Structure 1
Amino acid sequence: MTTGPRHRTRQQHDEIAHYLRTAIREGSFQPGDELPSEAELTRKFTSSRGPVRQAMSALRGEGLISSGRGRRTVVLDNVLTQSFDDVISFSQWCHASDIVPGQVTQRVAREPAEKSLAASLRIEEGDPIVSVFRLRLMDEAPAMVERLNYPFEFGRHVLAFDTDSGSIYQELIDQGVDINRASRTIDAVGANDDDARLLEVPVGTPLLRVRRRAFTTAGDVIESSDDRYLPWKASFTMNSTRGNPSSMSLISGD
């Protein structure tokens, strides 16, 4: 006797978080609006307070809602956030945010590394790299343009992968690549001709640029990337505590 594929049942706190996250994203709750109380949510979902509090904690961690201590919880933002502290792929981030990720590959190529990219990847100028240029989608809508570059040692796995099928990060992990940590530099940049065409915005539209480098545990550079988001599609958040040093730095552009 054979059975169909088994699907993970969504736990109750995930169901509550999904309901609230979707309502915020779709505008049912706007920034400044109060959310239903714990009592109202427990009645709506026939739940105890534990799953409701877990769901609220998840949304606070995403920067979507206030702490609510001593007063009703309010919506802070309706733009999805990604934590600075996570080494996470775009696809995984979308799935965690109840969004269907997508991608349309524009180009995959093996080519020699130019000087600045070779320095970023810690290889010699002219060494082979694998470059990927993709449009990323959120619920089938354009959201981000990514330019990914890998030393050939790691990029060879990408050449054998259908880059329209999903997460390159997950494919690298599945191939045994040790993705341990990442650094990000975030700034703003105007959309160039390619960005504007793919994201369906005028040339010069401000984009949120995230330049990322990923490393193995031993410190070898796996990837040097340039991701350009529509700013109303994503933002980044970082939580810090006074007295505890943060890895985030503010760097002058001068």
Structure 2
Amino acid sequence: MTQEPRYRRIAEELRHAITEHAYGPGGKLPSEGALAGQYEVSRGTIRQALMLLRQDGLVTSRRGTRRVVLDDAPVQDFAQMQSFARWARSIGETPEGRVVGQGWHPADPNEQRHLRIDADARVLHVMRLRLLSGRPAMLERTVYPELAGTIVENLASDTVSVTEFLESAGIFVADAEHTIDLVLAAPEDAELLGCAPGDPLLRERRRSTDPAGVPLEWSEDRYVPGSVAFVVHNSLASTPMTRQHMVPGNSGS
């Protein structure tokens, strides 16, 4: 019988201690060196164990510091998914936003398909870092067609809610389609979100449309572990979500 790797046993012991509130939300785990001494293993073994805890969303992933135990992930139901700012306020957090990149580009075939626009159309790309009470929580990459883009491009870089601003301009979202999966953090994600490259991130891709069914945005949001959870309600009268098979190597973009 193959013996379970040491780092997995260490991760399980730490996971049990965390779930039993031995450290408490916001508490710090011992340093890598202290844990290595406690378990009489190398720091590399401890890092492997901590990686498993990061993947479970139990601890932070900042390198060079002691890992911090995360609170239970705030739950975001589907009725609040359209507006990050409204959801943040509903759970007692202060929403913040900062544009880190913006520009007009010719629409690529994928954007043409999702936004139902012509091949020669241009779109506005906006990358925005979202924070919960000062903590990086999500990196949002949104593509806007001409109508919404000409409004969004003039917003202040620290505008808290794009949705609320569009509503003030008479543009309302009536429907949205969401696809949720897991991706690994790219170097750009890691730098802005304060995680390590390769860390797992919850990804939500969303197409929003107005009351006439015209697409207003195509967005990809990447959340740091422990920052959000999604709840789906199903009933005999309503089935708002479908399960799809993901072919290996196919991102489903």
Question: 1:206 maps to which residue?
Answer: 200
Q: Percent identity?
A: 32
Q: How does 1:1-254 map to 2 (within 5 A)?
A: 27=25, 78-86=72-80, 88-241=82-235, 243-254=236-247
Cα distance in 1 for residues equivalent to 2:239 and 2:145? 30
Cα distance in 2 for residues equivalent to 1:136 and 1:188? 18
Two-structure CA RMSD over aligned residues (Å): 1.7
Q: 1:202-240: CA deviations, max 9, x gaps?
A: 111000000001001111000000000012110100122
Tell me, yes or no, if the aligned pair for 1:240 and 1:246 is still in contact at 8 Å: yes
Tell me, yes or no, if the aligned pair for 1:213 and 1:221 is still in contact at 8 Å: yes
Shift of 1:125: 2.6
Cα distance in 2 for residues equivalent to 1:81 and 1:223? 24
Q: 1:44-92: CA deviations, max 9, x gaps?
A: xxxxxxxxxxxxxxxxxxxxxxxxxxxxxxxxx8211111244531111
Change over 3 Å in CA distance of 1:176–1:87 after alignment to 2: farther
Tell me, yes or no, if the aligned pair for 2:88 and 2:94 is still in contact at 8 Å: yes
Higher RCO (CA < 8 A, seq sep 6+): 2
Report the AA paired with residue 189 of structure 1.
V
Report the AA paired with residue 170 of structure 2.
G
Shift of 1:179: 1.3
Shift of 1:131: 1.2
Give the secondary structure class of the aligned counterpart of 2:196: coil
Give the secondary structure class of the aligned counterpart of 1:111: strand
Cα distance in 2 for residues equivalent to 1:215 and 1:151? 11
Report the AA paired with residue 121 of structure 2.
D
TM-score (norm 1): 0.67
Cα distance in 1 for residues equivalent to 2:98 and 2:81? 23
Shift of 1:182: 0.9
- Of 78-87 and 153-162, more deviation after overlay is shown by 78-87
Q: 1:183-204: CA deviations, max 9, x gaps?
A: 1000000001110110111111
Shift of 1:165: 2.3
Tell me, yes or no, if the aligned pair for 1:135 and 1:146 is still in contact at 8 Å: yes
Structure 2 unaligned blocks of 5 or more = 1-23, 27-70, 248-253
Cα distance in 2 for residues equivalent to 1:145 and 1:126? 28
Give the secondary structure class of the aligned counterpart of 2:245: coil
What is the number of residues matched between the two proteins? 180
TM-score (norm 2): 0.68
Deviation beyond 4 Å, 4+ runs, structure 1: none
Shift of 1:143: 0.7
